[in-house]
Structure 1
Amino acid sequence: MTFLSPERLWLLALVPILAGLYVALQWRRRHYAVRFTNLALLQQVAPRRPGWRRHVAAGLFLVMILLMMVGFARPADDVRVPRDRATIMVAVDVSLSMMARDVAPSRFDAAKSAAKQFIRDLPARFNVGVVAFAGSANLVAAPSDDRAAAIASIDQLVLAKRTAIGEAVFTSLQAVRSFDAQARQDPPPAHIVLLSDGDNTTGRSVQEAVTASRGADVPVSTIAFGTPYGTVTIEGETTSVSVNKETLRYLADNTEGHAYEAADAGQLNEVYADIGTSLGYTTEHRDVSARYVGIALLFALAAGGASLAWFSRLP
């Protein structure tokens, strides 16, 4: 817990002073009663009562004062507040190697299906954009809260030659920096989710992409689609297209993202949960002094009620 006005906490020093004064007055009262030599008259003017009752109301009153002083210092709790500009970029590999059918019905169809379901499941507070990459990378859906547009852009993807993973990251970062009028100076919190079978065959390197992502403070989580046994047939020639998990893991690990191996489309559903809440929320200090004032009021009512019930007077 923090205090928005901590300088006011010095008032707490008054509580032990008040408690000390109360103890001193009780000692003086008892000392005076002992000096009263007419015990018969003393019994009439000051009949014996259970001693602890006298202290209950006073104790409740002191606790009330303590809580009021704490509330006066404006205590604050950490509260998670949704970040409305939070953005997720989904980058989908559309290279010819994604035709391989070692993931049913194919790497490409599994990746598209998983990406669409992922977008549907994102909380409404997230904006989402889509990048497609093969020999180059293209923004096919600008980041927004329009889920239908993002999903429609995935349905229209077509396969092409080569794979430019580095370019996909750079294009995604550019989309984040162009999110709104203030994004250049104050970019939104963002996360890139990249679906691929892992080979970077053209364009800027994965190392350059790592450097750019780290500089922008944008993690990249990767989902590797494929197995070591994938093949594709292009123009009558069958080629082995083993998934390159190492490249994707390197990209994720060095940008503080997460690396996944998707043997089927359903594993993508785990990605959002592991991205965590740091993207969707920020932590703020919220004044909770009313909480302490409310509790102090309860103690005040308890002190007053006890005093009225036992002594027919307020403390």
Structure 2
Amino acid sequence: MFELDEKKYLYFLIIIPLLVVLFLWNIYWKRKRQREFGDLHLIEKLSPSSSLFKSVIKMLVVLLAFAALIIGLVNPKIGTKLETVKREGIDIVFAIDVSKSMLAEDMAPNRLDKSKQIVSQVINQLGSDRIGIVAYAGSAFPILPITTDYGVAKMFLQSMNTDMVSSQGTSLEQAIQLSADFFEEGNATNKLIILISDGEDHSEGIEKAIEKANEVKAKIITIGVGTTKGGPIPIKQNGIVESFKRDQNDEVVITALNEETLKQIGKETKGGYIYGDNTKEVLEYVKNALDNIEKTEFETTQVADFQSQFQWFLGFAFLLLLLDTFLLERKTDWISKLNLFNEKKS
């Protein structure tokens, strides 16, 4: 097995045929000028030591050296051995509320941005756990399936906004149902759902969702964002608040944190609840919860240990360039006897 580390340098190989064309044109030009100067046979007698063969050899050496330098820059890697990698951890799904109420700024900078900050910090302290992300409002939407690629997870996390789910409202039921579906059926890996919301629930199936979570043996930690006093939902244009969301009676909508629902979910799934105003406290709470969950081996992969081979090609290139300095373009006795280019006239 092998791989190329810097494939972009392969484009330099196109220079080699250009050099060949330039070399052939140079030979043609020299021959043409010699014919203009005088008889070719006479010119060859005046310069008996000149050798086309030696010129070709020097050109081939230079081209090989140049090709070796390019391959060295590409840095081919060869898999020299296989290693068994075992990972231990749990499966975690982050269910993040993206309903319009999450734009309320009663928790700085707003509830949604606070939620993303918390999730990002939790991911930073994970080890080898697998994670997935679900967004929900009036319906739930899968953002990222179970993966160990934390970098990709953070990228998707930062792109989340309140416009990504068309159905507005808040359905904790669908969020839990979809999160539970993320886990592989029959997988012995311990499972955890971290649900972040202001607790406003416009669905009527929360008990059924809790039952589904218990069926797949998934604990749920709920994190409340917002304040019990509540706040309005700003409508912004170019980052500037123009007005606030109003109801059918033209009254400003005040959205408040509903902790009771979130506490119920955490309690009935043997997870827990924590208020999310202090990120440090939330991280400590989640860390303690993770430490108390038994880790299981969920992945065994065969990984090729690739070793760089660029040094061989660079060494070969420098050796050829050194050899080129000792190659002269005039004939040597043994090459003259070979008469490879039919340089001797009968």
Q: 1:238 Cα shift?
A: 2.1
Q: Partner of 1:253: helix, strand, or coil? A: helix
Structure 1 letter corresponding to 2:197: S
> In structure 1, what is the equivalent of residue 282 of structure 2?
268
Separation (CA, whole Å) in 2 of partners of 1:121 and 1:85: 13
1:225 aligned onto 2:225: yes
Separation (CA, whole Å) in 2 of partners of 1:114 and 1:197: 14
Q: Identity of counterpart residues, as a percentage?
A: 26
- RMSD of aligned C-alpha atoms? 2.1
1:281 aligned onto 2:284: no
Q: Partner of 2:94: helix, strand, or coil? A: strand
> In structure 1, what is the equivalent of residue 113 of structure 2?
109
Separation (CA, whole Å) in 2 of partners of 1:108 and 1:185: 34
CA contact (8 A) 2:89 2:296 kept: no
* Unmatched 5+ stretches in structure 2: 1-85, 234-243, 298-346
> In structure 2, what is the equivalent of residue 258 of structure 1?
272
Separation (CA, whole Å) in 2 of partners of 1:208 and 1:136: 16
> In structure 2, what is the equivalent of residue 153 of structure 1?
156
CA contact (8 A) 1:122 1:272 kept: no
How many residues are matched?
194
* Unmatched 5+ stretches in structure 1: 1-81, 178-183, 284-315
For residues 232-263 of structure 1, the C-alpha deviation after alignment (integer angstroms, 9 at most, x for no partner) is 22268521111000000000000000100112
CA contact (8 A) 2:90 2:296 kept: no
1:91 aligned onto 2:98: no
Moved over 6 A (4+): none
Structure 1 letter corresponding to 2:179: S
For residue 122 of structure 1, the aligned residue among 126, 142, 145 is: 126
Q: Which structure has more helix as a fraction of its residues?
A: 1
Of the two, which has the highest radius of gyration?
A: 2
Structure 1 letter corresponding to 2:260: E
Where in structure 2 are the equivalents of 1:175-254 lying within 5 Å? 175-177=182-184, 184-202=185-203, 205-231=205-231, 232=233, 233-234=244-245, 238-254=252-268
Q: Partner of 1:84: helix, strand, or coil? A: strand
Separation (CA, whole Å) in 1 of partners of 2:286 and 2:229: 28
TM-score normalised according to structure 1 size: 0.58
For residues 99-150 of structure 1, the C-alpha deviation after alignment (integer angstroms, 9 at most, x for no partner) is 1111111111111111111111111x20111111111111101111100111
Structure 2 letter corresponding to 1:127: R
> In structure 1, what is the equivalent of residue 144 of structure 2?
141
CA contact (8 A) 1:104 1:264 kept: no
Where in structure 2 are the equivalents of 1:10-25 lying within 5 Å? none
Q: Partner of 2:160: helix, strand, or coil? A: coil
Separation (CA, whole Å) in 1 of partners of 2:171 and 2:281: 24
Separation (CA, whole Å) in 2 of partners of 1:146 and 1:237: 45
